[in-house]
Amino acid sequence: MVKKIIIVALILTIALGGWLAYYFSDKEVIKRHLGGLAVELGKDGQETPVQMALKMRHIKNMLTVRCQVTIPERGYGERLEQDLIIRYLIYHRSRYALLSVAFEDMVVDIPTKGQAMVQTMVRLQRKKTNQANAVEETHQVELALNRGDKKWLIEKITMPEALVQ
């Protein structure tokens, strides 16, 4: 009887350890991190300035001090400071009554320790204040992340022109 209890306890310990190793692996942490980013980018109706400021603060904390933004269709590529990126986000978000962002089909590659490349489809649903129905779009986005101070920070964003129109 004691042997069975020990074997069951050992199996449960191994299963729990395996699940914890998977849950806290860099790939899963990055996926959850970007899922949180999608929620913060979204806008569900009218936001108070305080709500928007809190969301923007969370987004700012997910970026490196200077983040490379590339839009291949425009031939645009520049390193922007966090504050400027936040201003652009506030400007673009303010034009919509509804904005929903979701990252789908996310592929996370970790070529070296502390660096990650993410390719994902961004499902965007947006509705301007004067529109009757929301428009849904899907776009390919690439992100480069760098691990700094125990957190994954977005270092580079490559996105299509349609996301900034």
With 0-12 CB in 10 A as exposed, 13-18 as middle and 19+ as buried, what is 55?
Answer: buried
Name the pLDDT band for 154 (thresholds 50, 70, 90). Answer: very high
pLDDT digits (tens, 9 = 90+) for 100-141: 999 999 999 999 999 999 999 999 999 888 888 888 999 999
3-state secondary structure 95-116: CEEEEEEEEEEEEEEEEECCEE
Here the contacts of 74-80 (C-beta below 8 Å, separation 24 or greater) are 74/161
All structural domains of the chain with their residue ranges: 2-164
d(CA 120, CA 36): 14
Which has the closest alpha carbon to 83: 47, 55, 48, 57? Answer: 57
Supply the CATH classification number for the domain 2-164: 3.10.450.50
**pTM metric for this prediction:** 0.86
